[in-house]
Structure 1
Amino acid sequence: MTYPVADTRVTYAAGAAEASALVLHVEDLSDGRRAVLLDTTCAHPVDAGWPDQGADQAVLRTETGDIALLDCIVGATDGIGLHLGREIPVPKGAAGWAFVAAHIVAAGAPIAEGDAVRVVVDPGVRARTSAGHTACHLASLALNLAVEDRWKKQPRPDALGRPDFDGTAIDVSLIGENTSTDAYRLGKSLRKKGFVTEGLDEALPLLAETINTTLADWVATDAAVRIDRDGDALTDRRYWVCELPGTSARIPCGGTHVSRLGELGRVRVTLELHDVDGTSVLTMVTTVG
């Protein structure tokens, strides 16, 4: 078998929803499906390390017809074998390894090494998912601002220089179409870092109102959003940048986003506090539209 020797070139960070590509490798997986490795893709893959944004809905367009993309997963190869998702045994950028976007298609899909294909992403799903991801970042910054007076110690700052509650307490983040869900653990380690949890339950309605007011103010500015990137390889660092009034917010992020906040329309959050195995968990659901 011939494996890629370089990371997949990705174009979704630049907003591309179509890309011409060459098939470098096709491998039958143990579950009967096939993994297709391309030199270039615009399809966003799931990253096992932080799987907040799912795979794009897309097709591989060939001379004989469209092949539906069942999944798209970050993988890695050392030239001997292909490892997908959590099976990758080395960190990103490891010497001697190529990190790739594995396009998962049905068993027996008519595609072979050397084929020229076109990757075509569903633009509607991409747009709605991008809106959910941008709103997620905005909401995290607004949440940090709303709870900044609950810190007794100075934690690390967020992209706006505020205490980074989101980055310190986040447990799970999931991006959907026009929505996101973030769960924050309010356990002993967070309290040791100086965050005051007493009275938080009673304060949730006011906190949500404060966050929603901030979000409405930011969206009304129609601030520009872009993705800065160190390069076009899958493992190159990428950053979400939003030019909010008077400041520029910059957050490491490998996902897709809208180009202006005005595209979001109305953004609102709801907050709930739950007990999970003896630990309080704050859940923030952000919706667009």
Structure 2
Amino acid sequence: MSEVISNQVLMSKVLFSKGITSSTSCIQWVEKTDTSTYVIVDQTPFHPVSHIWPDHPADKGFLVFEGKQYTVTDCVTGAFDVKNNKLYKGRDIPVKRGEEGWHFVVVHELASDLVLNVSDTVELNVDEGYQAALSRGHSAGHLASYALNKVLEQTYWRKDASRKDVLNNRDFHSYAQVLSLVSENKSTDSYRLGKTLKKRGLNVAEMLADLALIETKVNDVLAIWLETKAPVVMKCEGDALTDSRYWCCDLGFGESITMPCGGSHVRSLAEYKGIQIALTLKSEQDLEMITTAS
């Protein structure tokens, strides 16, 4: 049974895209159940897991109140129904972002025995090491997807495709990706090599025969890109959770990437010692790419 402490809530201002890992925040909403306390604040450095594409895990960290530290056990996307004064969390969210009368917010989950009230001031601290490891994994995954597209573009398409990435290579990653998962210093992408992809013009048989060679070439591209030590910039259209954010990296040589992404990321390719991929055929039509950052 939920106990709602407040009947008003504002949209959360998110700080993680600016590299901020600690904030003093004012509580806007508290909801208690038998097992948890859910808290929404006016601004937060925590990255919540997305309910739509949950590839990037929630940040870990702590809430500090009156000198005591409490573990944030989870952090999820929430949607608040203003008319009915009700909060929906994660997969229970029934509307798309931008729906009139709904505010999308960051929901921090804590232990059930914590007593907090609206207007209390708290401090939120993100586990910087964990967030940085996720950021390295996520940015590495982006680079690997573009490097894979670049290598496949050279040999493995027999006809043009309508969908190309920002580097003007046919977008194998976008066409074939069915699942992605970011973890500490790692990104895992799963691709489906079905009939549709073959019809689009990809020479799947030749590609699979050359997996080891493709892997080597992709790693060579990544090594060249890392040598640029290019900055990574997050461009934000606003501070709300639902405002668009873009991952931007200018690799030089006419290769500049701007793509929508809501995760946390590195600030520069200089943060890497190396990035390497491994390609594994999991079944006849299922290919996995694991990208590992060091």
TM-score interval, smaller chain: over 0.9
1:4 offset after TM fit, Å?
A: 4.6
Whether 1:271 aligns to 2:279 is yes
* Mapped partners of 1:182, 1:240: distance in 2: 18
Which of 141, 164, 177 matches 2:184? 177
Deviation (angstroms), 1:84: 0.8
Of residues 6, 15, 19, the one that matches 1:15 is 19
1:107 to 112, 130, 137: 112
> Where does structure 1 lack aligned partners over 5 or more consecutive residues?
none
| 2:28 is aligned with 1:24 | yes
Specify the SS of the correspondent of 1:112.
coil
Structure 1 residues 3, 229: closer, same or farther in 2, change over 3 A? farther
Instruction: Confirm whether residue 190 of structure 1 aligns to residue 197 of structure 2.
Output: yes
1:202 aligns with 2:209: yes
Q: In structure 2, how many angstroms separate the alpha carbons of the residues matched to 1:155 and 1:182?
A: 22
> Deviation at 1:194?
2.4
> Residue 268 of structure 2 corresponds to which residue in structure 1?
260
* Unpaired runs of at least 5, structure 2: none
Query: Number of matched residues?
Result: 285
The one-letter amino acid of 1:150's match is Y
Matched residue type, 2:147: A
CA distance in 1, matches of 2:200, 2:146: 19
Matches of 1:216 and 1:3 in 2, distance apart?
A: 53
Shift of 1:46: 0.2
SS where residue 107 of structure 2 aligns? strand
Change (3 A) 1:135 1:4: farther
CA contact (8 A) 1:3 1:77 kept: no
SS in 2 for 1:95: coil
Match of 2:139 among 117, 134, 137: 134
Code of the aligned partner of 2:131: R
Deviation at 1:97, TM superposition (A): 0.2
Calculate the aligned-residue CA RMSD, in Å. Answer: 1.4
Q: Which one-letter code corresponds to 1:93 in the other structure? A: G
1:45 corresponds to: 48
Aligned to 2:150: 145
Aligned residues of 1:4 and 1:77 also touching (Cα < 8 A): no
Of 160-169 and 214-223, the range deviating more from structure 2: 160-169
Q: Give the deviation of 1:262 after TM superposition.
A: 1.2
CA contact (8 A) 1:3 1:24 kept: no
Give the deviation of 1:3 after TM superposition.
Answer: 4.5
Pairwise CA distance, 1:285: 0.3
- Bigger shift: 189-198 or 254-263? 189-198
Return structure 1 stretches of 4+ with deviation > 4 angstroms.
none
Contact 1:135–1:267, Cα closer than 8 Å, also in 2 = yes
The DSSP-based 3-state class of the residue aligned with 1:74 is strand
Shift in Å, 1:114: 1.5
TM-score, with length taken from structure 1: 0.95
1:187-231 alpha-carbon deviations (Å, 9 max, x no partner)? 122223222211322211000000000000000110010100100
Say whether the 8 Å CA contact 2:9–2:28 is kept in structure 1: no
Evaluate the alpha carbon distance shift between residue 202 and residue 72 of structure 1 in structure 2; reply closer, same or farther with a 3 A threshold: same
- Report the secondary structure of 1:132's partner residue: helix
Query: Residues of 1 paired with 2:168 and 2:160: CA distance?
Result: 15
TM-score, normalization by structure 2: 0.93
Alpha-carbon distance between aligned partners in 2 of 1:117 and 1:201, rounded to the nearest angstrom: 54
Equivalent residue number for residue 249 of structure 2: 242
Matching residue of 2:236: 229
2:87 paired residue among 82, 92, 106 = 82
**C-alpha separation between the residues in 2 aligned to 1:288 and 1:5?**
39
* Amino acid aligned to 1:254: G
The verdict on how the C-alpha distance between 1:220 and 1:23 changes in structure 2, with shifts beyond 3 A counting, is same
- Please give the secondary structure, in 2, of the residue aligned with 1:147: helix
Q: Percent identity?
A: 40
Contact 2:178 2:190 in 1 (8 A): yes
